[in-house]
C-alpha cells in the first residue's frame, strides 16, 4: 500500500503530493522468508556456446557440474570459474531415489530444470533429455526438447547416443536448440551394455571416434566422453573442432564434468574410479543431524537467546484472565 504525504507552502496551500512506499521490516519471527534481493554486479558475464568454443580453441579447460535445485545452482553461480550448470538425469538416483536414470520422466526433469533456472546466473544452463524423451520418433524429440527449453528454461540439451542420433541433432539445430552429445559409456543404456569402460580395443575405439565425428558433423556444439581410455579421449579431442567434456576420459579433454553428490561426498552409493571427492559434506551433514537431535532431547535447544520473551505484566494479565 502507498502512503500519501502532503507538503504545504508558507501560505498553507498544498504545493504537491509525494507518494512513498513503506520501508519493509525484517520479520525475525519468520523461520523461512525470501532472500534479500540485493542487486550486485554479476561475477561474470553470461556464458555462451561461442565462449565455450573460444575456451576450447585457447586451451582453457571448461568446468561443468551437475545441479538439481535452486541452492546448488546458486553455489555454482557464485563461482566465476564454473562454465556450465548441468541438470543431469543422475538426479533420478541422487535426488529422487530411483535405482536407474531410465526411471526419470520428462516432467520431473522440467521441474528440476526450472528450479535450477531460478538460481543460475552466468553458467550456461544445460539439461539432459531423459530416457524415452528422444528415442521414439523425431517429432517426439522435437516436442520434448522444446518443452525443456520453453517450460524448463534450458539453454541447451544433452542426449546420449552415437551415429544414430545425427539426424535429430541436425533437426534440433535448425530450430535453434543446441545439442551436447554424449558417447562412450551411456548410462541410459546400461541395461544392455552394463557399466563398462568403452573403447578399450581397436574396433570399439574406432566406433567411439566414428560417433564423435558424426555428431560433430550433425552440428553438436560439444561432446561428452564418458569412461573411455585417456589416450582415446585425447585423440578424439584433437580430432574434433568442438569441445569435448570428459568424465572418466583423462585430463586432456576440453573440459570435465562430475556429479555434484560425487564431488561433494554426499553420495553413499558406488564410487567410480574417475570420481574425486573435493569435499566431505556427508560427514558434516550427519554430524549436524546428530547434534540437533541430541540438543532437542536434552532441551538445550532452543536456548533463552533463541526464544521470544513476553512482558511479565502482560503474562500475569493473561494468567489472571485464564484463571477466572
Residue whose grid cell is 541436425 = 170
- Write down the pLDDT at residue 282: 94
Instruction: Give the pLDDT mean for 168-196.
Output: 86
pLDDT value of position 11:
45
**All CATH 3.20.20.60 domain ranges in the chain, comma separated:** 49-279
Spatial CB neighbours of 88, under 8 Å, sequence gap ≥ 6:
66, 68, 128, 158, 259
The per-residue pLDDT for range 79-110, each reduced to its tens digit, is: 999 999 999 999 999 999 999 999 999 999 99
What angle (nearest 5°) sits at the alpha carbon of residue 117, between those of residues 109 and 188?
Answer: 25
Selected residue with higher pLDDT from 124 and 197: 124
Q: Are strands 244-247 and 156-160 parallel, antiparallel or unpaired?
A: unpaired
pLDDT recorded at residue 264: 95
Give the total residue count for the chain.
324
Instruction: Please choose, from the candidates 82, 164, 69, the residue with its C-alpha nearest in 3D space to the C-alpha of residue 117.
Output: 69
* Catalytic residue flag (residue 155): no
Rounded mean pLDDT, 250-268: 94
Mean of the per-residue pLDDT values of the chain: 89
Burial (CB count within 10 angstroms: exposed 0-12, middle 13-18, buried 19+), residue 120: buried
CATH homologous superfamily, domain 49-279? Phosphoenolpyruvate-binding domains (3.20.20.60)
Considering the candidates 155, 160, 216, 226, report the single residue annotated as catalytic.
Answer: 226
Going by pLDDT thresholds of 50, 70 and 90, the confidence category of residue 267 is confident
Q: What's the mean pLDDT in 255-264?
A: 95
Query: CA torsion angle for 154, 156, 159, 162 (degrees, to 10)?
Result: 180
> For 114-120, what is the mean pLDDT?
98
| Percent residues over pLDDT 90 in the chain | 78
* pLDDT at residue 269, rounded to an integer: 78
Q: Examine the pLDDT at 289 and tell me if it is beyond 70.
A: yes
Helix residue spans in the chain (DSSP H): 49-58, 70-77, 91-94, 106-119, 138-150, 166-174, 190-193, 202-218, 230-239, 260-264, 281-297, 312-322
Amino acid at each position: 500500500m502507498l502512503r500519501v504525504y502532503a507538503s504545504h507552502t508558507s501560505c498553507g496551500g498544498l504545493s504537491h503530493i509525494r507518494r512513498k512506499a513503506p520501508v519493509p521490516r525484517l520479520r525475525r519471527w519468520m523461520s523461512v522468508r525470501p532472500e534479500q534481493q540485493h542487486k550486485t554486479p554479476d561475477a561474470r558475464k553470461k556464458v555462451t556456446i561461442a565462449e565455450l568454443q573460444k575456451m576450447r580453441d585457447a586451451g582453457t579447460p571448461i568446468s561443468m557440474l551437475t545441479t538439481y535445485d535452486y541452492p546448488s545452482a546458486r553455489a555454482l553461480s557464485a563461482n566465476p570459474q564454473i562454465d556450465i550448470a548441468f541438470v543431469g538425469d543422475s538426479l533420478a538416483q541422487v535426488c529422487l531415489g530411483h535405482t536407474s536414470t531410465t526411471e526419470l520422466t520428462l516432467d520431473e526433469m522440467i521441474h528440476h530444470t526450472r528450479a535450477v533456472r531460478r538460481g543460475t546466473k552466468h553458467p550456461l544452463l544445460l539439461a539432459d533429455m531423459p530416457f524415452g524423451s528422444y528415442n521414439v520418433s523425431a517429432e517426439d524429440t522435437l516436442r520434448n526438447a522444446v518443452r525443456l527449453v520453453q517450460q524448463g528454461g534450458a539453454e541447451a540439451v544433452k542426449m546420449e547416443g552415437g551415429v544414430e542420433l545425427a539426424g535429430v541433432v541436425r533437426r534440433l539445430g535448425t530450430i535453434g536448440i543446441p545439442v551436447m552429445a554424449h558417447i562412450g559409456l551411456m548410462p541410459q543404456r546400461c541395461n544392455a551394455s552394463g557399466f563398462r569402460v568403452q573403447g578399450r580395443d581397436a574396433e570399439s575405439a574406432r566406433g567411439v571416434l566414428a560417433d564423435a565425428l558424426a555428431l560433430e558433423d550433425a552440428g553438436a556444439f560439444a561432446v561428452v566422453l564418458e569412461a573411455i581410455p585417456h589416450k582415446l579421449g585425447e585423440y578424439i579431442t584433437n580430432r574434433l573442432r568442438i569441445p569435448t567434456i570428459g568424465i572418466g576420459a583423462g585430463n586432456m579433454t576440453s573440459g570435465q564434468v562430475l556429479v555434484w553428490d560425487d564431488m561433494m561426498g554426499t553420495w553413499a552409493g558406488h564410487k567410480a574410479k574417475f570420481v574425486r571427492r573435493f569435499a566431505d559434506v556427508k560427514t558434516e551433514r550427519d554430524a549436524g543431524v546428530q547434534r540437533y537431535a541430541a540438543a532437542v532431547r536434552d532441551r538445550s535447544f532452543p536456548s533463552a537467546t533463541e526464544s521470544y520473551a513476553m512482558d511479565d505484566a502482560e503474562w500475569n494479565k493473561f494468567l489472571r484472565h485464564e484463571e477466572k
